[in-house]
Copies of this chain bind each other. A is one copy, B any other.
Amino acid sequence: MSKIELNKRQERILEIVKDSGPITGEQIADKLSLTRATLRPDLAILTMAGFLDARPRVGYFYTGKSGTQLLTDSLKKIHVREYQSIPVVISENVSVYDAIVTMFLEDVGTLFVSDHDGLLAGVLSRKDLLRASIGKQELTAVPVNIIMTRMPNITVCKKDDLLIEAAKKLIEKQIDALPIVKESDLGLEIVGRLTKTNITKAFVALAQED
């Protein structure tokens, strides 16, 4: 009545499929000098438990799936749109001072900058604004387009991207946020914001799902 472990025969089947898969049930039976009928419960157990998978006209193959792999599979079902935030967008002729004020009013860590067509022109991080604020310039006189990161140096994502891919971009590029964009004939429309806070929320949610 204790938790069932793989028996010797199941272990041997697993070895055979690892070595020779994809392989049919008949071929496995041959190798073990047993009938297909005898093996049926073992193959059922190994398949149900996720060790093996089977495809019609192909045969059994080894999935190598562990609990961790199942985890990976379910991570690959989460998309950017499920965790995105609303973007805070300012115009490129706004002053650095006003940008800082907007950042505090909206309580965000990253602002996006749009051009006169309303398309993505730049990104402003707290770090960019902090750097400017200890410079010698008058903050009310400098427009944000002087200090912002601009194309082609902006890393973007789309609503339908996998959240895990967006998270990788944040890490690889060492940035705090990605603009979520929609391509149009003229350029990139800003439709959302994805931050490390969103990823952290997704991480917390993973552990709270039922």
Chain A: residues with CB nearer than 8 A to chain B?
Answer: 1-4, 24-25, 41, 44-45, 47-50, 53-60, 67-76, 97, 100-101, 103-104, 109, 126-127, 129-131, 133-134, 139, 164, 167-168, 170-171, 176, 196-197, 199-204, 206-210
Contacts and interface: CB of A to CB of B under 8 A. Distances in A.
Nearest to A70: B67
A3 B54 contact: yes
B209 A68 contact: yes
Given A67-B70, A168-B204, A134 B139 contact: yes
A159 B25 CA distance: 49
Contacts of A73: 67
20 contacts: A1-B25, A1-B54, A1-B58, A1-B60, A4-B44, A4-B47, A4-B54, A41-B41, A41-B44, A44-B45, A45-B48, A67-B74, A68-B210, A71-B206, A103-B130, A168-B204, A171-B197, A196-B200, A199-B199, A202-B203
A68 B74 contact: yes
Nearest to A72: B207
A19 to B, nearest CB: 19
Nearest to A164: B207
